[in-house]
Amino acid sequence: MEKEQSASCPFEQETEAGKRSIEGKPAEVDNDGSFKRQTNRFTTPFGEAEGELPVEGGRYRLLWSAACPWAHRAVIVRSVLGLDGVISLGTVSPLRPRIDRVDWEFSLDDDGADPVLGIRYLSEIYRKTDPDYTGRPTVPVMVDLHTQEAVNNDYFRLTHYLETAWASFHKDKAPNLYPAYLREQINSLSDEIFHDINNGVYKCGFAASQEAYELAYDKLFAKLDELEYRLSGQRFLLGDFITDVDVRLFTTLVRFDAAYYTSFLTNRNLIREFPNLWAYARDLFQTPGFGDTTDFDAIKRHYHLSITINPDKSEAKILPKGPDLSGWDLPHEREHLSSREGKFLVKE
């Protein structure tokens, strides 16, 4: 069993805090004021073994929010691997609805409903699948169009399934984002980045005590400092080409200055103040599948104007005008750190 899927998996450690009905406020703050992310409900893997989800083109719909980093990673991988025409995409609004629970709404679509599933709120598909579901309805979630039910919302493993189980549907010469000989390293580094950075910004933003906030803050910037040094001598996290762990780090970095720095109080440094991390993030942003799936307007609206995980939060009235986004298109000048041409390990 892979490290991040073992008993030390963040979802198996942080399980009890989110178990209240989606009718009310999620209880994801522990007694010490620290944020404990809820567990994922639908975790059946994709594959060919008995009990696994069959891999079939056109059978599934991926629901996401352009604001959400967990969903963004799946959309990036879907694009990079050429699965766009195989797995359809449904998009919820970055602004959560002002109702008596935390939910996502399909208000961007005509008639305020997903055009394929016909649902207005994401919770409808969760309740249809499991009437006893507790916790927030989350994105990403894969929906089986045959049964009209949610089958997988395991954002930690979903990209791995797209990279492996869905290989027969990959485009010609698709990148290998999860090569077998690097999986142990990818899994280990992904686990560290999840705890201290991906979820670390949320631990800062949702902390309910000064002590919990400062602990998460210190761990966040200690890990960013570590990666800043790591990237001083190599183009990507594991060397010369992009792997799954780069996707995972990118979705936090690209939201950092526009959202987390102010909204989540992660204000020691902006990402653009880390020379190596900033150039690395631009290198990824300028890669097809990364920048073209990034919606800064949705990100800003969600983190600055939305209720996030608390239905009782007062609604903000002012959307910050900045930051200046033109820097994302500046030359990254990181090619010299690589010993090979191209950004991907391409499958032959």
Residues 93, 105: Cα–Cα separation, whole Å: 6
- Please, how many CA atoms are within 13 Å of residue 224, restricted to the half-sphere of its CB? 27
Q: Which of 309, 226, 295, 227 is nearest to 264 (CA)?
A: 309
Enumerate residues 6+ apart whose C-beta is below 8 A from 254: 281, 285, 290, 294, 299
Catalytic residue among 9, 60, 68, 303: 68
My answer on whether omega of the bond before 140 falls inside 30° of 0, hence cis, is yes
Whether 68 sits among the annotated catalytic residues: the reply is yes
Q: Which residue has the tokens 């990079």?
A: 80
Cα→Cα distances 328→110, 269, 281, 301, Å: 32, 17, 8, 19
Catalytic residue among 60, 202, 260, 280: 202
DSSP annotation of 103: -
Enumerate residues 6+ apart whose C-beta is below 8 A from 347: 170, 173, 174, 175, 176
Q: Listing from the earlier edge strand, what are the strands of the sheet with 149-152?
A: 88-92, 60-65, 141-144, 149-152
Per DSSP, the residues of 258-303 read IIIHHHT---S--GGGSHHHHHHHHHHHTSTTTGGG--HHHHHHHH
Whether 202 sits among the annotated catalytic residues: the reply is yes
8 Å CB contact between 309 and 28: yes
| Catalytic (active-site) positions | 68, 202
